[in-house]
Amino acid sequence: MIGGILPKKIIQKYDSPLYVYDSEMIQEKCRILKKNFPKINFFYACKANTNPEILRLIKKQGVGIETVSPGEISVAKKVGVPVSKITFTCGSISEEELIWVAKQKIRIHLDSLRQVEIFGKHFPGEEISVRLNQGIGAGHHSHVITGGQESKFGINLADVGKLEKLAKKYNLRIIGLHQHIGSNILDVSIFMKAVNVLCNTAMNFPDLKHLDFGGGFGIPYKPEEKKFDIELLGKKVMARISAFTKEYGHSLEISFEPGRYLVAESGSLLVTVNDIKHNLTKIFIGVDSGFNHLIRPVMYDSYHEIINTNKNRKRKGKVTVVGNICESGDIFAKDRRIYFPEYGDILLIKNVGAYGYVMSSNYNSRHRPREILILNKKLKVV
């Protein structure tokens, strides 16, 4: 069941393959964060899933939107998110893009000395927020570690002196510090190490108004993985912020940027078995989707649990679930134990609400699947 509806009924109505999202799960995740982090602001890292209906759901829960491109800013505005609830984290962006974003009057986290200089030339005397790389990085794959010496992100702590000179040159006030260490982190101690370091660094900046600790809250993809202890993290963060406030002398706005945590578990990819092949060592289960629809397994070697939704299948065994793309790497799961499917069975690929459809493509000139939102046990094409 997804949101109280049988996958078979969803496929019968909208055909296969399909992305299906459970709205109640997204709303519940928002409530959990707000309960465990009182008086802390959250900005959903919408690169995880930019579907407008999902952004509307998150907005209604009082969560802001963190963006990384003009396109994401436009989507956030179209669904009614006020500029006060939108932030922008710079990557390797052009001067023209930076100027355009600055004119939107949203909070910008500048990512490099070059960006600080560009901003200062065009907007002297303004307040700025900067992203720091404090040498701490973590994540489920090397491609998603966004802190440390191997990371392209942020201003290195060794360059803080240069940052301060640029700020003085253009009469800029550094009123915000930002960091983001990586994605899908399940270890509370790693988060707290990063929180502690940013709090310590903040003591060297006298004019701060906000600290943004980034995102990276993880979810368990494998059945044996433990859930991220969000309650424990909340208690530790609130205690650390309380101590920091006393030391700093006044309270600051504190923010986090969860992405995957809010949406990943809400999403399922429903696919249909089209082919079954036996060779000397493997059983290949061919489905009507591929890495053009879900690229995480081939890009990150990511694990996604796969369930045969046909409850009549009683025998389990190892199979390799493959897609319909003309590439040998088009594999959803290798040697995975599931209930042996037959032609026409619907397989459910779990936890695809983040970095699923949003990273999909029309490779092999195949269409992207529809996205369906389950809201109040009703189906909506989104």
Which residues are known to be catalytic? 326
User: HEC string of the chain?
Assistant: CECCECHHHHHHHHCCCEEEEEHHHHHHHHHHHHHHCCCCEEEEEHHHCCCHHHHHHHHHCCCEEEECCHHHHHHHHHCCCCHHHEEEECCCCCHHHHHHHHCCCCEEEECCHHHHHHHHHHCCCCEEEEEEECCCCCCCCHHHECCCCCCCCCEEHHHHHHHHHHHHHCCCEEEEEECCCECCECCHHHHHHHHHHHHHHHCCCCCCCEEECCCCECCCCCCCCCCCCHHHHHHHHHHHHHHHHHHHCCCCEEEECCCHHHHHHHEEEEEEEEEEEECCCCEEEEECCCCCCCCHHHHHCCCCCEEECCCCCCCEEEEEEECCCCCCCCEEEEEEEEECCCCCCEEEECCCCCCCHHHCCCHHHCCCCEEEEEECCEEEEC
